[in-house]
Amino acid sequence: MPKAAPPATFSSDGGDTGDLPFATRKPASEEASEFLRVMFFGQESTGKTTSALFMANAPGDGIVLVVSLENGVKIKPLRDLGVNVDLIREWPEDPTERVTFEGLEKLFYQCSNQLRKAPGSIKGVVFDTWSVASYALLEGAAEFQVERSKNGNNPRTSSRAIELQDYNTLLKDCRDIINKFASLPCHLAIVGQEADQVPGEGEFKGFKQIAVDVAGSKTRPLLYAAVDMAVRCVAETVVTGEYESKILITAQTAKSNTLRVKDRFHVLPPRLPEPRFDRLLDYYQEDVVASTDVAFTIHAETRESAAKFEADRKAAARGKR
């Protein structure tokens, strides 16, 4: 069987027309006409990015555009897990290219133009990670303020020390970028690291919560407002044999005084096994409900196997005494 070609990349330079420089695909099927916006956050190695990239397996044959701000998309592991990597594209083309407000804004207009000309040609956009994007925007905000101050009486000479006005610029830039991409007629997934001891809001004001990590605390509510679901991914390694183990990924979806998550449609169970984007879409469209979700059975059987192995191991150890 011939190997599939790695996902193509494309430049942020769309030329004078503002068009995306890749071939137009035929529109997606009508099944993908309702779009979902999800934020995945959690600690390192909890399946956040992989869960988001399963967007490629959702209905439709449009591309999934990954705004790749960390280590890039790892093709082989994703293919081994069953992700349709042939639909994945990365931006920027040059992984060393600096991410700026202007670059993200231009990318938005390229996507908007593409979707207007060919609805469904972009299945969705994935930010990996927004935590990195927000800090990059903060750096740009500081540099903007340095340039702006050059014509004043007290010119600022360095952007290394972040000042209050930088956060004001960051808030405006984040609001602009988040709202723009959330308005596109396609899916949206935002990946972020987690931060603890975040001041709670609304009914949880006065508590400290686990939430997504961002630059500037005032930008965090913008993210939660823009998405339909915000889930915290958790990884659990269970040992099922002498040399065998499995990693179970679950999502915490029930908000509490210690956890800031979101389920706008109230369709998710409190702990969802395998919180892949395509599965969240199934829950949203009511194609799957917790009572018939086989992922619960698979996780339960895996834990039972791990418990049996541990019990057998302890029994064997007692017999050797």
Q: What is the pLDDT of residues 63-108, one digit of tens each?
A: 999 999 877 889 999 999 999 999 999 999 888 888 888 999 999 9
Residue pLDDT, tens place only, 120-139: 999 999 999 888 888 888 88
Helix%, strand%, coil% for the chain, nearest 5:
40, 20, 40
Lowest mean pLDDT among 25-29, 238-242, 255-259, 303-307: 25-29
* pTM score, whole prediction: 0.84
For the domain spanning 30-233+252-267, the CATH number is 3.40.50
**Tokens read off for 143:** 């540099």
Question: Distance (Å, rounded) from C-alpha 58 to C-alpha 276?
Answer: 10
* Residues 108/184, Cβ–Cβ less than 8 Å: yes
